[in-house]
Amino acid sequence: MPDPAVPPTPPVPLAALLAREDLALRRIAGPADPSLVIHAAHTSEMADPYPYLLGGELLLTAGVHIPDAAGSGTYFDNYVSRIVAAGGAALGFGLAPVHDTVPRALIEACDTYGLPLLEVPPQTPFTAVARAVWQLLAQARLAELRRVTEAQQSLAAAAARPDPVPSVLRQLAQRVGGWTALYGPEGTETASAGRRPEPPVTASLAELAEVVRPSGPGTPTSATHATAGTHLAAYTLSTGFVLGVATPAREPGDHTIASVATVLLTLLTGEQQSGSGAARTSALVRLLLGGTAEEVAPLLGGSDTWFVVYASHNGQRDRADLLAGARGTARPATVHPHPPDLLAATALGAALGSALIDPVGENVRVLLPADREPDPQPGWTLGVSAPVPAQQLALAGTQAARAMARARATRTPLSRHGTHPGLAELVPEEEAQAHARALLAPLAEHPALTETLRTWLSLHGSWDRTAVALAVHRNTVRQRIARSAELLHAELDDPDVRMELWFALRQE
Domain boundaries, the chain: 12-137, 161-274, 300-416, 424-505
pLDDT of residue 422: 54
Contacts with 183 (C-beta within 8 Å, 6 or more apart), sequence order: 189, 190, 206, 209, 213, 241, 242, 243, 244
The reply to whether 161-274 shares the fold of 12-137 is no
Which residue from 419, 354, 420 is spatially nearest to 387, judged by alpha carbons? 419
Per-residue burial over 305-341, b if 16 or more Cβ lie within 10 Å, else e, is: ebbbbbbbbbeeeeeebeebeeeeeeebeebebeebe
Distances (CA, A) of 506 to 75, 189, 424, 425: 85, 54, 9, 12
pLDDT along the chain (508 residues), means of 10: 51 94 96 92 95 94 90 89 96 93 95 97 96 93 90 90 88 95 86 93 93 78 90 88 91 89 85 57 77 76 80 59 40 48 71 82 86 86 89 86 84 79 59 81 88 88 88 90 89 85 78
Per-residue burial over 267-292, b if 16 or more Cβ lie within 10 Å, else e, is: ebbbebeeebeebbeebeeeeeeeee
Contact present, 477 and 452 (Cβ < 8 Å): yes
* CATH-assigned architecture of domain 161-274: 2-Layer Sandwich (3.30)
DSSP 102: -
- H/E stretch holding 180 reads strand 179-183
CATH number of 12-137: 3.40.1390.20
pLDDT of residue 178: 94
pTM of full prediction above 0.75: no
* CATH-assigned architecture of domain 424-505: Orthogonal Bundle (1.10)
